[in-house]
Amino acid sequence: METIEQMIQKKAYELGYEKCGIIPISLMEGYAERFQERLQKVPESRAFYQGQQRLVNPLEVYPWAKSVVVLTVPYGKYKIPEEVKGRIAKAYLFDVRIDRSTKEYQNNRALEKYMQKLGLKVETNEKFGVVGMRWAAMEAGVGIIRRNNFLYTESGSWVHLEAWITDREMELKETNNVPQCPKGCNRCMAACPTKSLSDPYTMLPTACISFLTTFGGRNLPQEPLRKSFGECIYGCDICQDACPMNRGKWKGKEEFPNLSGLAPELTPENILNMTEDFYVEKVQSKFFYLSPEELWKWKVDVLNYMRNNYVESYKPLIIKACNNKNEKIREMAKLICNELCLK
Ligand code: SF4
Ligand code: SF4
C-alpha cells in the first residue's frame, strides 16, 4: 500500500511537477546555522537578511509544523520574447506564483487541495515562501545549491521552487543526478558585474542588480554600481547565464500565457512612455516586486539602461524625462544628460 508521502509525490508528478521531496521540519535547523554564518561573513547584509527571519525559524510562526513538502517547476521550456531578452530576468517573465492564467498556478492550488483532502493541515506563502526553499530542496534531494547560490536540478537553475509546511511527520527523499560544480570553476563570480557574488556561496544582496532594480531600488541615481548594470532593467540572470551547468538547459519552445502580447509594451522606450493606468492594469500584477505606486522605479531603471546602452534615438526621451513630474526620474535624467553631455 502507498504511504501518504508516496501519494503526495505521485500526485505532484501527475500534475507535472518535476521533483517532489518531503523532509522533517528539524532538517531546517541547518538553514538557521548557515544563515548565522552568512551574517557573520557578510555583516553588511544584516539589514537585508533581517527581513528573512521568518524563514529561518518556521516553528516560531507555525508551532504545529512537522514536515516540509518541496517541489520544483521548470520554466526553461518557455520562449523569451526578443523585446525583453537580457533586460528582464527570466524568473520574473515566467513568474507563476500569483498568475492565475498559468497551468503552474492552477497545479499549485490543486496540490494544496489534494493534501488537505488527505487530512493534512498545510500552509504556503505563494509570493515569498514559508521556509528557506533552496535549503529545503537540497535537504530533500531535489537538487544541489551551486556556488552562485541557486538551486539546480537536471533542468539547470531555471526552476521555480514551491513549498508547504504540514502538520504530519513525513519524509520522502527525492533523487537527483546533478553533478557538483567543476573544480576551480568561478565563472559565475567572474561574470557578476557588481561583485555582489564575491566568493562561492557568498553574496552581498544589497549590491545585487536583482535587488537594486526591483524592491531594493530606492535611490538608483546615487547608486555608483548602476553604471555596471549592462542591459539589465529589472532583475539579473548574469551569474546563471554564465554557468556551464546551465548550458543547453533553456529549451524556449512554448509560449507563456499573455507574454507575447505584453512584451512589445516593455521595450525601454515604451516603459518610459508608459501611463500609470496601463502599468497598474497590465504590468504591476505580473512584476509584483514593485508596487502600483512604483512605475517611477521602472522608469529610473530604464533611464539607467539607456545610459549604459546609449544610442542617439534615446536622446529626446532622456531630455524629455528631465521635466518629468517625478523627482527621482528628473534626477536620473539630468544626471545622465551631464554624464553623456546631452543638450
Ligand atoms: S544576479 Fe547579477 S548582480 Fe546578482 S549576484 Fe548574480 S550576477 Fe551578480
Ligand atoms: S559557474 Fe561554475 S562555480 Fe558557478 S555555479 Fe556554475 S558551475 Fe558552479
Structure confidence by residue, pLDDT tens digits, 283-300: 999 999 999 999 999 999
Q: Is the CB of 102 under 6 A from ligand 2?
A: no
Number of independent structural domains in the chain: 2
Q: Cell triple for residue 269?
A: 522606450
pLDDT exceeds 80 at position 50: no
Query: What residue numbers bound the domain in which 319 lies?
Result: 187-340
For residues 221 and 298, state if they share a domain.
yes
| Displacement of CA 237 from its chain's centroid (Å) | 9
Rounded distance from Cα 222 to ligand 1 centre (Å): 19
For residues 162 and 238, state if they share a domain.
no
What pLDDT does 212 receive? 96
For residues 58 and 103, state if they share a domain.
yes
Mean pLDDT value of segment 167-174? 98
Rounded distance from Cα 145 to ligand 2 centre (Å): 10
Q: What is the end-to-end Cα distance of the chain in Å, rounded?
A: 76
Segment among 45-49, 54-58, 67-71, 277-281 with least mean pLDDT: 45-49
- Provide the angle, in degrees to the nearest 10, between the axes of the packed helices 327-340 and 295-308: 0
**If we measure between CA atoms, which residue out of 152, 210, 218 comes closest to residue 181?**
152
Q: Is the CB of 185 under 6 A from ligand 2?
A: yes
For residues 233 and 294, state if they share a domain.
yes
The atom number, within ligand 1, closest to the CA of 237 reads: 1
For residues 12 and 144, state if they share a domain.
yes
The reply to whether 248 falls in a domain is yes
For residues 272 and 220, state if they share a domain.
yes
Q: Cell triple for residue 151?
A: 538551486
What pLDDT does 38 receive? 80
Strand partners, 286: none
For residues 159 and 33, state if they share a domain.
yes
Ligand 2 site-directed mutation target among 150, 187, 197, 237, most atoms within 8 Å of CB: 187
The reply to whether 323 falls in a domain is yes
pLDDT exceeds 90 at position 263: yes
Name the 3-class secondary structure at 164: strand
pLDDT digits (tens, 9 = 90+) for 206-250: 999 999 999 887 899 999 999 999 999 999 999 999 999 999 999
For residues 213 and 135, state if they share a domain.
no
What pLDDT does 46 receive? 77
Q: Between β-strands 144-145 and 151-152, what pairing exists: parallel, antiparallel or unpaired?
A: antiparallel
The reply to whether 28 falls in a domain is yes
For residues 55 and 196, state if they share a domain.
no
What pLDDT does 57 receive? 86
- Give 42 or 8, the one with higher predicted confidence: 8
The reply to whether 221 falls in a domain is yes
Q: Which of 166, 200, 217 is the last residue of a domain?
A: 166
For residues 162 and 195, state if they share a domain.
no
What pLDDT does 179 receive? 97
Mean pLDDT value of segment 305-329? 97
Contact between 151 and 144 (Cβ < 8 Å):
yes
What pLDDT does 24 receive? 98
The reply to whether 182 falls in a domain is no
10 Å Cβ neighbour count for 44? 11
